[in-house]
Structure 1
Amino acid sequence: MARLCSLPARARNFPINQSSSRLLSRFSTSSRRSNYADTLPNLKIGKHTKVLFQGFTGRQATANVKESLAWGTKIVGGVKPGVEGEHLGLPIFPSVRTAQEKARPDASAIYVPGNQTAQAIEEAIAAEIPLVVAVAEHVPIHDILRIHSMLQTQSKTRLVGANVPGIISAIGKCRIGFQPLPCFAPGNVGIIAKSGTLSYETVASITRAGLGQSLCISMGGDSLAGTNFVDALTVFENDPDTEGIVLVGEIGGIAEIEAADWIKDYRRRTTNPKPIMGLVGGLQAPPGRIMGHAGAWAAPGEPDAKTKYRALERAGTVMVNHPEKFGEGMKTLLNSRPRVGTTSASSGNQKRGLHTMRRVTPKTTTRAPLKQTRSLYVKQFQALDMLKEKSIAVREAAPSEGDFFVTLTVDRTSLSPCILASSTADFEPSLTGRFPFSYANPDLDGRSSLMKAVAAHLHTPAEAYENLAQLIQSLWQIFKEKEGYLLEVRASLSTSGLEVRGARFGFDDAAYKSSGRQEEVHKLRNKAEEVPEEVEAEKDGIVYVKLDGEGSIGTLVNGAGLAMNTVDALTIHGGHCANFLDTGGKATSETVKSSFRIICSDPRVKAIFVNIFGGLTRCDMIAEGIILAFRDLHMQVPVVVRLRGTNEEAGQKMIAESGLPLHAFDGFEPAAKKVISLAKEA
């Protein structure tokens, strides 16, 4: 358990409002070495926060700055490397260091492409910017591993992201990100979410209920998050502006399990805990698939979405199956909560500060790590060839008793590479050793304590120790050189020594797609052997997953988290979905048209459910795209359209008056019932 610590020097210089002052006053001064946890107070943004933009003059940043300034965000300028001048009436600085010296920003919004994001974050860390928000998708995993190896050794900079909408204070009118402002209203509910579109739906529901939001933090959809659920929950616990908390999770990692442990502890030690509600997307996600978000996949031994849901529910979280239920649900919980002693602890010394919450590695339900699909998931013989090149003994053979398993992957809790060693294929937790290690200083020498611990866990005989060490060192070389994210081998000990008999290697597609690296690995992909519709969708920037079974409802959704939840909720209502489809956060008429074409190519589809939250794109524009696409494709399949968000009434009216077999709704449940009935009638 971490000890109390003094605030870092940069945080002490933070301009703070009254609520931030109360938050920071909870920390005592003691002699402890500073670390990344010391940066948690930097998340408490507000009207005091001075924001810098990196990538300032770009199109997206320019539009965002205009909106945020009009809303009330205090923006002090931006950075364009090597350039000094003015943009939108604000100064352009030639470097982050210069901006830090002249403007003293409290936060930096990074608006550069994924292949440049790591460098931009590194510059902000070097300049000791207190809060860095990285919104870009497709940031290579190894770039972020390198960034986390830096973050964990300092106590000045806190990262939110990457692949996030950002962080926003509705009370303080401070937006650092691209959240849809019309959805927000000042209030008392704090929100932490992995999914952007699900968070927008959540915010809108809270606003419709008349509650509003205090602080909304995005954990993001990547594997390695700069700020996680426990971080945000700890901030919300100590935030006097936050009276209720909403947590939105999804498949992948164990952050929700860690949150459940935190919530259980919080409710035990607090006499009048703040009500917490939750949702987990991906309950119906097929095992082994990546569901839109880069981080929406489960590593060996990680829990599925249903396990996370149950863990949160057992911890006392009020769970819902759709985000539009958060508003009225939270209103009921807040109205039934006593208003006196809202932060009192059950005993005088029980209260935890932001730095003192322990992290628990939970026991989790396992799933056999089979058939994971990713665009750069190579075939077994290709993986074995890579090992042969490292002089590892290889003989492909069927599984047999006595085989053991070693996996090199990323650990989402330690934010570092990790070795998993197990005697079972399903990585049963009680039989699996988890050994995180430093990305910058891996220390995988045969004499290292880490290597000895792995060998001891696998009960490796002394004569095979050097072979095991060589295997792990080779896996690390492949992992680093070719930017892997999951390298798993099945090996056995024979009279001739250690022998690898099976392998499953996955590599980061973002390294190639956004940065142009690893072309040689990317060429190993054989699209002819993949699902044709999925390959076709990829060309248009659409993520499509064809689901097995009797699916009769096609789904078209903007945002991976919302798409997962749509499949979950339709299934709960008795529907059978044929696919998962994420058009991306910004649905356009072209992506809608391409999506309809792909969905209709599946003969099982009898009705289509379009579930769009118009946050970044207006509902009337989306409605126009749906109508045009329906006419151009001469569609015969009935379509149910649920539109919520910006200009939702105008969009719904356009659908209703189109004269086409389109059915417009704003509520999810009536829309779900309609599409299910249409599919059954067809």
Structure 2
Amino acid sequence: MFPHHSRCLSRKLRIKSKCLTLDSRPSYAYFSSSSRLSGYDNTIQNLKIGKHTRVIFQGFTGKQATANAKESLEWGTQIVGGVKPNGSGEHLGLPVLPSVRAAKEQLKPDATGIYVAAHQAAAAIEEAIEAEIPLIVAVAEHIPLHDIMRIHSMLSTQSKSRLVGANAPGIISAIGRCRIGFQPLPTFSPGHIGIVAKSGTLSYETVGSLTRAGLGQSLCIGMGGDVIAGTNFVDALKVFENDDDTEAIIIVGELGGTAEEEAAEWIKDYRKRVKDPKPIAAVIGGFQAAPGRVMGHAGAWTGLGEGTAESKYNALENAGVTMVDHPAKFGGVMKDILAESGRDVRKIEQSAAQRRSHHTSTRPRLPTSSLHSSQQKRSLHLTAEQSSNLLKSYHITTSPTPSPSPSSSHFLGIAVARSSSSPCIIAAPTTKPQQLVHRVRRFPFCYRQGPAQATIQAVLAYLQLDAAPPASRAGVVDLVNNLWRFYYEKEAITLTLSLSLSPTKDEIIVYDPYLFFDDAAFKSRKRQEDLHALRDTSCIPDTELEAERNGIVYIPLASPSSSSGTASKDTQIPSTTHEPRNLVGTLVNGAGLAMNTNDVLCLRLSPSTGSANFLDTGGKATSATISTSFKLILSDPRVSVVFVNIFGGLTLCDMIAEGIILAFKEVGVDKPVVVRLRGTNEEQGREVLQKANLPIKAFDDFEEAVREVGRLAGGLQGVK
């Protein structure tokens, strides 16, 4: 891969000093010493929304909330009013109240949709928890991780409120005509398949396939792509198990965290204890993810002790789940597994048809959302001296890596325990990667209270340092407390280091620190300004800086035939003369769909061909954004064909088409272009392209588009 990718991690902020980096860490079996408290588990039933659900909006009078509410009301959602801080009166003919507590008392809501920007979202969620609203749906992206961990520490101690999100499209009952989120309504139809997804665009692809197949959907839960989620796969599976409207289940996962593996364990148990289990299918995105990079979604990165896309796929398949490589296949696959399970597919289709009414495929242009966009995260690179000084200000003194290596070394740090939605001490009694595979362990603790002494003592015992000399043992205790203070005050995601006992003194030696920061605190709340003022953009390629300025996530990928190579600053593309010139430049809306597009191209195309890049246009994409995306893609000399793969949700297909035409005018597109348009305004989009009379091959079927891409790029392995 590209050597300085590990130092210039986009999408999240990372400081690297010497040894341990994300891209040098293999995937490890996950171990957690605690699980969610049962009180919050009791709120899972609150996810079962429908026509009975009374919904309020927080931020009700805002432009985005107003447009969304109008759509949802028209569709049948029972919105009973909303909240505007210190406001009152009416909006859309519904009451506006000054606080969530007042709305709870007067409107008796079952759920709230939070339609405020990221810098206001945490406070809005906390207000809803305090008012004991049964279901809280937060769609905003870029809510700071530490705000979310504080919220989860509140959720874990109560049994009234359930959170969906953040950074999620929301939750929608197609049968009950209840939408709390921003899902594209024309894609949905009432039916009997339950869906839980990390990715919004992949869930829309899934929904579209089921609608075309006549199966429809029962309940669709957007888990979201953040580092930790208010509702996970297992929570959703428990709802679907006992939902009479749900005949089968679909899981849409991706790399990052361990939620898919935990779902696989639950499914194994479910299939043992239930006589006639509901069929389950799944898709996983991220097989071709660039090592050491955050792939669009804030949580789409593989941390220490977490599985890869491949391990997630294998875990689900071993649990009896039917796996697909692209969600457009779900319609046919679900019919097959429903029939294999002995269920009457025709009866299910007839029931779905009876519940369905006509849906237009056209959606009006709505105000640009400021709530949910896949804007490029900024990277942070500090010198080793800056990193050392930063740690020293927290009484953590680092030394050069010992040489020769000490006979006994230990791994220690503070990180996120995604399963318990909390921080944790991460530890292993070794720093050797081949041994870390088996020995890394997490010790979760409460965000608001910090690590308890009993937890620290358990870590000492696990590190085999509980019998160390007194000063060394006390030094490790102080180190843990100082790391936590650093982690808390600087709003880090991961802080780890190596330590060993001095061979000559009763003291510890600390070395090889790894610091990984969340930049949402700065972008959304303007916190940590002093830290982010140190940002050095000289190590970031110009293409990635331009992408960032335009709200695009652009990550070059390694060529299929190269395992290494030097990268130029301008393009971050391997500069060796033996690089192939037949790669596919991809332009996709949505991080999950972008990952899956790269995965499928790798499967379908010949071994010497593949994707040149990951590119997510972002939720704020405009025609100008699409034109800029073409410029970025075509700056890579390896690209021989451009593949535009769009499933329109908030992103409109006709707007994408206009952007492609603009690119031909402004950028001077000199490569073949294949465009696949599905979803919102797909017919209008194809019409725009047709009238432009440009050398563009347009398709609505994904497989047909991939075959044409393969033909132009130099061959297919065969459709699988």
TM-score, with length taken from structure 1: 0.88
SS of the residue 2:164 aligns to = strand
Q: Provide Cα deviations, 1:614-639, integer angstroms capped at 9, x if missing partner.
A: 11133222212211222221211111
> Are 1:433 and 2:449 counterparts?
no
SS of the residue 1:410 aligns to = strand
Q: Provide Cα deviations, 1:447-487, integer angstroms capped at 9, x if missing partner.
A: x1111111111111143111111111111111111100011
Judge conservation of contact 2:223–2:231 (CA < 8 Å) in 1: yes
Alignment correspondent of 1:493: 501
Alignment correspondent of 2:155: 151
Judge conservation of contact 1:424–1:431 (CA < 8 Å) in 2: no
Q: Provide Cα deviations, 1:331-387, integer angstroms capped at 9, x if missing partner.
A: 1111232249xxxxxxxxxxxxxxxxxxxxxxxxxxxxxxxx972464544332222
Counterpart of 2:106 (choices 97, 102, 106) is: 102
Amino acid at match of 2:456: M
In 1, the alpha carbon distance for the partners of 2:402 and 2:233 equals 41
Alignment correspondent of 1:559: 590
In 1, the alpha carbon distance for the partners of 2:38 and 2:443 equals 24
Q: Provide Cα deviations, 1:585-644, integer angstroms capped at 9, x if missing partner.
A: 353201101101111111111111101111113322221221122222121111110100
Distance 1:293 1:378, change over 3 A: farther
Identify which range, 203-212 or 541-550, moves more after superposition.
Answer: 541-550
Alignment correspondent of 2:348: none
Judge conservation of contact 1:433–1:454 (CA < 8 Å) in 2: no
Amino acid at match of 1:642: R
In 1, the alpha carbon distance for the partners of 2:127 and 2:333 equals 43
Judge conservation of contact 1:553–1:577 (CA < 8 Å) in 2: yes
Identify which range, 271-280 or 646-655, moves more after superposition.
Answer: 646-655
Identify which range, 412-421 or 381-390, moves more after superposition.
Answer: 381-390
In 1, the alpha carbon distance for the partners of 2:338 and 2:687 equals 35
SS of the residue 1:383 aligns to = helix
Equivalent residue runs for 1:67-82 within 5 Å: 67-82=71-86
The total of aligned residue pairs comes to: 614
TM-score, with length taken from structure 2: 0.83
Give the C-alpha shift of residue 222 in structure 1: 0.2
Equivalent residue runs for 1:331-342 within 5 Å: 331-339=335-343
Counterpart of 1:223 (choices 224, 227, 232) is: 227
In 2, the alpha carbon distance for the partners of 1:601 and 1:254 equals 36
> Are 1:450 and 2:444 counterparts?
no
Alignment correspondent of 1:406: 412
Aligned-residue identity in percent:
59
> Where does structure 2 lack aligned partners over 5 or more consecutive residues?
1-36, 345-376, 560-579, 716-720
SS of the residue 1:490 aligns to = strand
Judge conservation of contact 1:222–1:293 (CA < 8 Å) in 2: yes
Judge conservation of contact 2:380–2:536 (CA < 8 Å) in 1: no
Counterpart of 1:459 (choices 455, 459, 464) is: 464
Identify which range, 219-228 or 375-384, moves more after superposition.
Answer: 375-384
Counterpart of 1:421 (choices 408, 427, 452) is: 427
Distance 1:146 1:616, change over 3 A: same
Q: Provide Cα deviations, 1:158-180, integer angstroms capped at 9, x if missing partner.
A: 00000010000000000000000
Equivalent residue runs for 1:188-587 within 5 Å: 188-339=192-343, 375-376=379-380, 378-397=382-401, 400-401=405-406, 402-422=408-428, 423-426=430-433, 428-444=436-452, 448-460=453-465, 461-463=468-470, 464-494=472-502, 495-496=504-505, 497-549=507-559, 550=580, 552-574=583-605, 575-587=609-621
Judge conservation of contact 1:512–1:519 (CA < 8 Å) in 2: yes
In 2, the alpha carbon distance for the partners of 1:409 and 1:380 equals 21
In 2, the alpha carbon distance for the partners of 1:377 and 1:295 equals 20
SS of the residue 2:398 aligns to = coil
Amino acid at match of 2:399: R
Give the C-alpha shift of residue 312 in structure 1: 0.5
Judge conservation of contact 2:556–2:612 (CA < 8 Å) in 1: yes
Distance 1:270 1:633, change over 3 A: same
Amino acid at match of 1:521: L
SS of the residue 2:192 aligns to = strand
SS of the residue 1:221 aligns to = coil
Give the C-alpha shift of residue 429 in structure 1: 4.6
SS of the residue 1:599 aligns to = helix
Identify which range, 672-681 or 166-175, moves more after superposition.
Answer: 672-681
Distance 1:450 1:70, change over 3 A: same
SS of the residue 2:521 aligns to = helix
Alignment correspondent of 1:599: 633
In 2, the alpha carbon distance for the partners of 1:262 and 1:491 equals 37
In 2, the alpha carbon distance for the partners of 1:649 and 1:335 equals 33
Judge conservation of contact 2:589–2:651 (CA < 8 Å) in 1: no
SS of the residue 2:52 aligns to = coil
Q: Provide Cα deviations, 1:259-287, integer angstroms capped at 9, x if missing partner.
A: 01011111111221111000110011122
Alignment correspondent of 1:18: none
In 2, the alpha carbon distance for the partners of 1:254 and 1:95 equals 37
Distance 1:308 1:275, change over 3 A: same
SS of the residue 2:535 aligns to = coil
Judge conservation of contact 2:646–2:678 (CA < 8 Å) in 1: yes
In 2, the alpha carbon distance for the partners of 1:378 and 1:137 equals 26
Judge conservation of contact 1:553–1:576 (CA < 8 Å) in 2: yes
Identify which range, 485-494 or 142-151, moves more after superposition.
Answer: 485-494
Judge conservation of contact 2:674–2:698 (CA < 8 Å) in 1: yes
SS of the residue 1:186 aligns to = coil
SS of the residue 2:662 aligns to = helix
Judge conservation of contact 2:414–2:423 (CA < 8 Å) in 1: yes
Amino acid at match of 2:410: F
Give the C-alpha shift of residue 300 in structure 1: 0.9
Amino acid at match of 1:424: T
Identify which range, 240-249 or 462-471, moves more after superposition.
Answer: 462-471
Higher RCO (C-alpha under 8 Å, 6+ residues apart): 2
In 1, the alpha carbon distance for the partners of 2:101 and 2:549 equals 40
Amino acid at match of 1:441: Q
SS of the residue 1:606 aligns to = strand
Give the C-alpha shift of residue 677 in structure 1: 2.2
In 1, the alpha carbon distance for the partners of 2:522 and 2:130 equals 27
In 1, the alpha carbon distance for the partners of 2:63 and 2:257 equals 34
Judge conservation of contact 1:290–1:374 (CA < 8 Å) in 2: no
Identify which range, 88-97 or 654-663, moves more after superposition.
Answer: 654-663
Identify which range, 151-160 or 599-608, moves more after superposition.
Answer: 599-608
Counterpart of 1:644 (choices 678, 682, 707) is: 678
Give the C-alpha shift of residue 72 in structure 1: 0.2
Give the C-alpha shift of residue 657 in structure 1: 4.2
Judge conservation of contact 2:204–2:649 (CA < 8 Å) in 1: yes
Alignment correspondent of 2:573: none
In 2, the alpha carbon distance for the partners of 1:209 and 1:381 equals 59
> Where does structure 1 lack aligned partners over 5 or more consecutive residues?
1-32, 341-372
Judge conservation of contact 2:388–2:397 (CA < 8 Å) in 1: no
SS of the residue 1:252 aligns to = coil
Give the C-alpha shift of residue 398 in structure 1: 5.8
Identify which range, 521-530 or 166-175, moves more after superposition.
Answer: 521-530
SS of the residue 1:144 aligns to = helix
Identify which range, 586-595 or 395-404, moves more after superposition.
Answer: 395-404
Give the C-alpha shift of residue 194 in structure 1: 0.1
Judge conservation of contact 1:130–1:156 (CA < 8 Å) in 2: yes
